[in-house]
Structure 1
Amino acid sequence: MMNTPWFTVQRMDEYTFAISEYGHWEKVHSFLLLGRQKAALIDTGLGIANIRDVTSKLTTLPVSVLTTHVHTDHIGGHGLFSDIHVHEGDSNWLIHGIQGLLIERIRADLVRDLSLPLPPGFDVSAYTPYCGKPAGLLCDGQIIDLGGRKLEVFHTPGHSPGHVCFFEEASGYLFTGDLLYDETPVYAFYPSTSPSDLVRSWQRIAEIPGVTRIYGSHNTLGLDPELLGEVQRAVKVLREKNLVSFGTGIHYFNGFSVRF
């Protein structure tokens, strides 16, 4: 484990690292995966500290940013990289900004309930979410080859229209972004979210064979694959009880919850 004043870096295996921001109430995780020819950085965190300073200490490989979805806590460091990829469903937000969220709300959420001091020089009043044109678009079923290491893209809308998960068959690692994590509710009540899409996406990832570890983008780092069985049960319960719609509240299951 390598610590900086803001980031905690944990080695998941010889070629995979979690870069975590535990000082923020959302406990955000980004993930660096090293191949032989290039590296993939799944999301870039909050943008409070310079995540590229961390990745440059971990690898000299060219880094491609793979975006699970375009919310501010996942694209904060995008401006530090040039090779950025996103699903078409979220590309308009990446280029023009997230619709429906005021900058005052974004800035307030960025610095509330901190357990670590902000890095020197960070000015929340000047913080503006990244906007820019992606280098490439991700699509469902796409295989990303890092050189001796491959990731499959799963389009999993619900939390956002262009939300994606990444699965590495060789290791069994499933990176679920904001589709699935523990401790705090998975959210599907922001603008442009969809409870029905989210539940369908849950069903889809629950059927992926060979998952050995689930890596969500918040809270506990690494969840047991048995959780996917509970996801299947959650899908069944929510549908049978007609709860898959906005305004039905928070629904609790064994190991996770969801807010519609």
Structure 2
Amino acid sequence: MAGTFRVDRVVTSGTFSLDGGTWEVDNNVWLLGDDDEVLVVDAAHAAQPIVAAVAGRTVVAVVCTHGHDDHVTVAPELGRTLDAPVLLNPADDVLWEMTHPGVAHAALTDGQRITVGGTEVHALHTPGHSPGSTCLHVPEAGLLFTGDTLFQGGPGATGRSYSDFGTIIGSIRDRLFALPVETAVHTGHGDGTTIGTEAPHLEEWVRANG
């Protein structure tokens, strides 16, 4: 019988680099599961604190919400150490190759369902911040893990290569804001929010970008 579903957060620190710039960032790494099984969401900066938080549980997969280097830094290392597949939407392979050239990963596809600790996690392809950006929805628990697609106060950044503002707005409007308003949003950086808190501001974000 599956145990109680829970979410653990590990915050790791390092850098994000793209288009010739480098920035200091703190990343949220999310662990979804129970006492026996866990799904790791994002593989940021350092493997050791993530492995420590896994605490010997069986790792179903290491899921990367997108291919930016701060979210996949230690993905291959975690996959080997934890004996787990690394999943990333193939539309982000161009970004993955910048960090892990020639290293294979498994495909994360829109609509894919991953069961961990007896609870289903649904993959929602939400391009815009990057071509393959994918959010993870846990309907049974009312949770959404958005990577860098949606934050407290607005959409993820779209000012760098392989990103597009109109695309991210469409993804948020059509895929994320279609979810129940009480859905708790856990983001790739910083504090969380809810769908109901962010949804009323969509048109403001569009006007501000115009």
Task: Give the TM-score normalised by the residue count of structure 2.
Answer: 0.79
Residues in 1 aligned to 2:131 and 2:107: alpha-carbon distance in whole angstroms:
14
Aligned residue number for residue 90 of structure 2:
88
Aligned residue number for residue 117 of structure 1:
none
**Over aligned residue pairs, what C-alpha RMSD do you find?**
2.7
Amino acid aligned to 1:152? H
Identity over the aligned pairs, expressed in percent?
A: 23
Q: Of 71, 90, 96, which residue of structure 2 is paired with 1:74?
A: 71
Aligned residue number for residue 18 of structure 2:
none
Residues in 1 aligned to 2:131 and 2:90: alpha-carbon distance in whole angstroms:
9
Residues in 2 aligned to 1:231 and 1:225: alpha-carbon distance in whole angstroms:
11
Amino acid aligned to 2:28? H
Residues in 2 aligned to 1:22 and 1:184: alpha-carbon distance in whole angstroms:
22
Residue aligned with 2:149, SS: coil
Do residues 160 (structure 1) and 130 (structure 2) align? yes
Query: Is the 2:87–2:107 contact (alpha carbons within 8 Å) kept by the matching residues of 1?
Result: yes
Do residues 62 (structure 1) and 59 (structure 2) align? yes
Provide, for residues 51-80 of structure 1, a one-character-per-residue CA deviation record: whole Å limited to 9, x for no partner.
4432342x4213411110011111112122
Which of these two proteins has the greater Rg computed from alpha carbons? 1
Aligned residues: 192
| 1:242 Cα deviation from its structure 2 partner | 7.6
Residue aligned with 2:150, SS: coil
Residues in 1 aligned to 2:144 and 2:193: alpha-carbon distance in whole angstroms:
10
Aligned residue number for residue 112 of structure 1:
none
Amino acid aligned to 1:155? H
Q: Alpha carbons of 1:72 and 1:23: their partners in 2 closer, same or farther (altered >3 Å)?
A: closer
Which structure: greater helix fraction? 2
Residues in 2 aligned to 1:90 and 1:242: alpha-carbon distance in whole angstroms:
24
Query: Is the 2:180–2:195 contact (alpha carbons within 8 Å) kept by the matching residues of 1?
Result: no
Aligned residue number for residue 257 of structure 1:
none
Q: Alpha carbons of 1:22 and 1:71: their partners in 2 closer, same or farther (altered >3 Å)?
A: closer
Residue aligned with 2:70, SS: coil
Do residues 208 (structure 1) and 199 (structure 2) align? no
Q: Alpha carbons of 1:183 and 1:229: their partners in 2 closer, same or farther (altered >3 Å)?
A: closer
Do residues 133 (structure 1) and 104 (structure 2) align? yes
Which structure: greater strand fraction? 2
> Matches of residues 179-258 of structure 1 in structure 2 within 5 Å?
179-182=149-152, 186-204=156-174, 205-209=176-180, 211-220=182-191, 222-234=192-204, 237-238=206-207, 243=210
Displacement over 6 Å in runs of 4+: none
Residues in 2 aligned to 1:139 and 1:159: alpha-carbon distance in whole angstroms:
17
Query: Is the 2:65–2:134 contact (alpha carbons within 8 Å) kept by the matching residues of 1?
Result: yes
Do residues 151 (structure 1) and 124 (structure 2) align? no
Show structure 1 runs of 5+ residues with no match.
1-12, 98-128, 244-260
Residue aligned with 1:190, SS: coil
Task: Give the TM-score normalised by the residue count of structure 1.
Answer: 0.65
